[in-house]
Amino acid sequence: MEMMTSNIEHIPGFTITKSLGVATGSTVRAKHIGKDILAGLKNIVGGELKAYTELLMEARTEALGRMMMDAGQRGANAVVNVRFATSSVAGGAAELFAYGTAVIVTEG
């Protein structure tokens, strides 16, 4: 069964029957040096840096996936109140972190 996620306190249409604690998932990504130089050159006129946008989205999706895996191992079928956090660790790398409350929900 697919893991349900939301960033509100419940899953609409379902009732929470049991809380299984905080599920977390994180990933650390560093950029490619070639991409970095190219991004710097592309940014002469300012605006979006597509390479970074894609890289960070990919990383965030992975963090979210790991969080769901953690919740799955706890026996949950949903994660509520999901939050994201981003921090810079060690030169040029970013840590993306997703966390939420793993819960068991039943319909109704």
Partner 1 sequence: MFESGDVGEILVYSLILIGIAFGAFFPLAFIYSMLFGGLHQSKMFKQLLARERHVAALVGGDNIHTLSTPISLDKITQSSLVMTNITVGPSWWQLFLGGIKSIFGGNIQSFDKILAYGRSEVIQRLREQAIGDGWDEVINVRVETSMVMNKIKGGKQNKLGTLEFVAYGTGIR
**Which chain residues interact with partner 1 by CB under 8 A?**
4-9, 11-13, 31, 36, 39-41, 43-50, 52-53, 56-57, 60, 64, 82, 84, 86-88, 90-92, 94
Cα–Cα dist 100/81, whole Å:
5
CB of 65 vs partner 1, minimal distance in Å: 12
CB of 67 vs partner 1, minimal distance in Å: 10
Give whichever of 17 and 91 is closer to partner 1, judged by the CB atom. Answer: 91
CB of 100 vs partner 1, minimal distance in Å: 9
8 Å CB contact between 20 and 71:
yes
H helix or E strand, kind and range, residue 62 = helix 50-73
Give whichever of 60 and 70 is closer to partner 1, judged by the CB atom. Answer: 60
Cα–Cα dist 63/69, whole Å:
10
CB of 42 vs partner 1, minimal distance in Å: 9
Torsion of CA 37, 41, 46, 47, to 10 degrees: -60
Cα–Cα dist 84/74, whole Å:
20
Give whichever of 1 and 44 is closer to partner 1, judged by the CB atom. Answer: 44
